[in-house]
Amino acid sequence: MNKVQMDRIRTGKGFIAALDQSGGSTPKALLQYGIKEDNYSNEEEMFNLVHDMRKRIITSPEFTSEYILGAILFENTMDRTINNQFTADYLWEKKGIVPFLKVDKGLAAIENGVQLMKPIPDLDNLLKRAVEKNIFGTKMRSVIKEANYEGIKKVVGQQFDIGKQIIEAGLVPIIEPEVDIHSPDKEESEKILIYEIFNQLSSLGQDEKVMLKLSIPTKDNFFSDLVNDSHIARVVALSGGYTQSEANERLARNQGLIASFSRALSQGLTAQQTGEEFNAMLSNSIKAIYAWHQLHSGSTGASLLFK
């Protein structure tokens, strides 16, 4: 673990940029960027185009550590280079932005009211490669649909079992057991979730750290004890489907959360824009996100992940 990067994650200002669209969501991301499916004929061409998009964002003079704390990458992006450096090295050495890697392979079918993660084949090798490419941490997502104790226990158990494997490899896991905001018993799910999270945190070694990415809680400041736990590096909130205005209102009442943005960051960017137009649009998005973050973080520390 890079201790300088850990200090930045624990105390730094800014938000996390989610640049981790994978195979299934890549065509949609390219379409929003102005590139239709008939512009590529195979997966390799598709990933070349999406890497060009991500490279254009990352190398923009507007994409800086003044506003951005970390960036979550897809495996394909980790393995590629930007200006003759691997992406994670470029992010940290040229931009001062902490690199993360998405490691999950999607969600299994609903069982016991939850969706566990699908198996992650050859995870040890992926983590080894991540360490070699100077990745700081990882991200993985599960979903909770209802307040089923056995289901939620399995979700949290799976997240922490894999999380411990990630810690053992020298990386910091982002644990993401998302509670569906449309669940009729969302608040009850959150009570079970926080109980199980604390059970798992108690099994960690004194110096072992994780991050959490959680849906905005139904009860204000329900995650305060998690934010202050010694095993938690930072807590990130996700909107999970709330409108931007409703999410902002809810998060303004919560303390200690940091932001991560994906669609909100790249909104309005297209391949057809000139460099000047692209950078101006990206600058507007980044500064608007950061301004909102600062507005609500002065007293509450709250902000948000928009998917």
Q: Return the residue matching tokens 């550590």.
A: 65
Dihedral (Cα; 190, 197, 177, 221), 10-degree rounding: 50
Task: Supply 144's token pair.
Answer: 């909770």
Q: Which residues contact 22 (CB under 8 A, 6 or more apart)?
A: 74, 75, 76, 102
Going by their DSSP bridges, the two strands 114-115 and 98-102 should be labelled as unpaired
CB 138 within 8 A of CB 168: no
H or E element at residue 304: none
Question: Which listed residue (146, 176, 190, 196) is catalytic?
Answer: 176
H or E element at residue 264: helix 263-266
Question: Which listed residue (102, 145, 209, 213) is catalytic?
Answer: 213
Q: Return the residue matching tokens 């949609």.
A: 28
Cα 192 from Cα 40, distance rounded (Å): 46
Q: Is 249 among the residues known to form the active site?
A: no
Q: Which of 76, 20, 81, 85 is nearest to 47 (CA)?
A: 76
CB 65 within 8 A of CB 93: no
Q: Is 111 among the residues known to form the active site?
A: no
CB 134 within 8 A of CB 99: yes
Catalogue the active-site residues: 176, 213
